[in-house]
Amino acid sequence: MNLDNLNNKQLEAVTSIGQPNLIFAGAGSGKTRVLTYKIAYLIKDVGLPPENILAVTFTNKAAQEMKLRVQELLDFDISSISIGTFHSISAQLLRKEIHHLGMLNNFIIYDQPDSISVIKSSIKDLGLDIKQFEPKTFKNHISQLKNKLISYEQAEILADDFLSQKVAEVYKIYQNQLSNNSALDFDDLLLKPLELFKTMPNILKKYQNKYNYVLVDEYQDTNKPQFEFIYSLAQNHREICVVGDDDQSIYGWRGADISNILNFSDAFGESKIFKLEQNYRSTQNILDAAYFVISKNSNRADKKIWTKNKEGEPIYIVENLNDSMEADKILSLISENTSKGTYDFNDIVILYRTNAQSRVIEDRLRRQGIPYHIIGGVKFYERKEIKDILAYLRLISNLSDNVSLLRILNFPVRGIGKTSIEKIIKYSKEIGDSIFSVLNNIDNVNIGISQKKTIKIFVDKINEIHNTIDSIDVVDLVKKVIHEFKIKEHYDRQNTSDSNERWQNIEEFINGIIEYNDEKEEANLVKFLEEVSLLTDIDKWNDEVKQVTLMTIHSSKGLEFPIVFISGLEEGLFPISQYLDQNDELEEERRLFYVGATRAMEKLYLSYSKLRRRFGAEIMPMLVSRFITELPEENIQYIKSDYESRKMNIISKDISYKVGQLVQHSLFGKGKIVEVQGEGNESKVSVIFHGNIRKKLIAKYANLKIVYE
């Protein structure tokens, strides 16, 4: 196999076998190339059969890219390689094995809204007020428990206050409801394989023998269940290669454990460690800026990325009076960069710490007619009309799915009122059977005759379509659902712009199913529903469409753009306020900044406001983020908003600084010049600021105002 396209460090990592491999892959260092080449090397040069390789990624997009790249390197079919996300790999395993745990193989995967719906029902079952006990909060608590491998039985024992007791109680009811619905949530997809491995050693041995070599991408983001899954499979043969970057570990809030990568050798024994430090993405100025900030973290492996790329433009610090002016300035800079034809809208991303920050920027983009796309808005498959269709399909696939059934029992409206539904639910709980079973015997429920007649028609149609699952393709099945339940007629009757748009979305949904049907050799309803459940915004994002992209920094990991804006760099916003006094969390915030900065290939704009509207209406003064003050001053150029540029004393070409002068800096305040190197605008000025902070500044960028000679 030709390995000439690899640098020396990449080559060493690709060809290393016989012991656990840990590859620290800095931002833009070619980790995807290393992983794909290693898979190809294992098959072509080592002789490992493709079906004996497991490669795990964190996004479907990354998995698809890896498959394509490996296929390009090899001249034969590699479809037998298991390449996918933790969730998709686990789902595939469970489809084959979950019957050993007493569950149906056609289980439904509940997304976040579905899970919250069940939690809401569980809270009500306890007689608690959902206004006081918010379902989303309970879902987060339960997810945290699952990520720590704590069952509801253990949670009940560990509960030491009122809230944790209620969480444990809701957790128990929630899990029972999932079981009754033959459903799993995203966390269960990771937990159920571990349960299988623990209770059925023969199943574990089967997959240990199947996967002779295990590769893991983005290893720094693994949580405890993911670590246990990988450890279980690789603990005997120890043929494992993990790739990651501790400096990009940004998911601690959802259970990711940075110690998994930092303590890799402790878990898997003596390992070969590689550091990929050459960056192929960014300019040196961008890398230097990112390093200066991340180097302030103490809990990290020692490494520094570098590049053969040009030094590049300075890091632009954009100061604004308020968030409205910040949005205006960002748009002005976008126009400045795109007007000359060097860059297009799809070369630009605007990043922020929280989704709420996008509103004011989005407003400005819309007013100016600049095309844009938000990653993390309302996902296509979470729109009401799409969720309704999916609920029909889920119920047809799994008649025990109470959540889906209740969603569409009276959609389109068929005269089954709230009171009737409550009686049905109550009877279902009394007899301990699924709601659909109750509907099959609706005469036993005390509801009106007309409602019973309507329900019988509904049940007959569902049963009829359910019985055809194996005989018709997914496209025809969906069309049959739409026809039998008169869904188009429902939207036609409304005849509003909103209803027309909803129907157009359903038509687009059908188009998506047609594409799925054409692309998949073994297309069926269960597999389609599984794929939809595991989709993310990033998986559907098209970077070739000429539009500005808006997203949180968390969503941006793994992506790159010629021009990156990071907005809202203020203390309390980024880093976020609740982490300011917590060292571990503050270090994660710094890693988050590092991730955002290293998305930039050519230009990086860091923006902050002096005033920002917080908590609904109150306008509050803001302090510049410490991440800006941690940057190397010689790499920075300041851009002032129009309001400020009119007031600032901008340096003239012939200005000269002298040792002993007192100066004013917009960020660091007053200071005293202690050293001057060079002359005029190009001179480098060393200044001691308050707190004995010493900074070396370049005159043309620093905007120092002499306050005393």
Query: Which residues have a catalytic role annotated?
Result: 31-32, 217-218, 248, 599
Q: How far apart, in whole angstroms, are the C-alpha atoms of residue 220 and residue 242?
A: 9
DSSP β-bridge partners for residue 84:
56
Q: Which residue do the tokens 């490494």 mark?
A: 303
DSSP state of 650: P
Q: Which residue do the tokens 């493709």 mark?
A: 50
Does residue 412 have a cis peptide bond before it, meaning omega lies within 30 degrees of 0?
yes
Q: Tell which residue, 382, 387, 392, has the closest CA to residue 481.
A: 392
DSSP β-bridge partners for residue 563:
348, 603
CA dihedral 593→594→595→600, nearest 10 degrees, is 100
Q: Tell which residue, 355, 368, 286, has the closest CA to residue 327.
A: 368
DSSP β-bridge partners for residue 24:
244, 275
Q: Which helix (H) or strand (E) holds 406?
A: helix 402-408
Helix (H, G, I), strand (E, B) or coil at 374: strand
| CB within 8 Å of 365: residues ≥ 6 apart | 331, 372, 548, 550
Q: Cβ distance 297 to 591 under 8 Å?
A: yes
Helix (H, G, I), strand (E, B) or coil at 302: coil
Angle, CA 520 vertex, CA 517 and CA 523 arms, to 5°: 65
Question: In angstroms, how far is the first alpha carbon of the chain from the final one?
Answer: 69
Q: Cβ distance 189 to 146 under 8 Å?
A: no
**Please, what is the angle between helix 186-199 and helix 135-147, to 10°?**
30
Give 618: exposed, middle or buried? Use CB within 10 Å, 0-12, 13-18, 19+.
exposed
Alpha-carbon radius of gyration of the chain: 29
Q: Tell which residue, 260, 217, 266, 223, has the closest CA to residue 242.
A: 217
What pairing do the DSSP bridges indicate for beta strands 82-85 and 278-279?
A: unpaired
Q: Tell which residue, 269, 211, 226, 207, has the closest CA to residue 42.
A: 211
Q: Tell which residue, 558, 205, 532, has the closest CA to residue 393.
A: 532
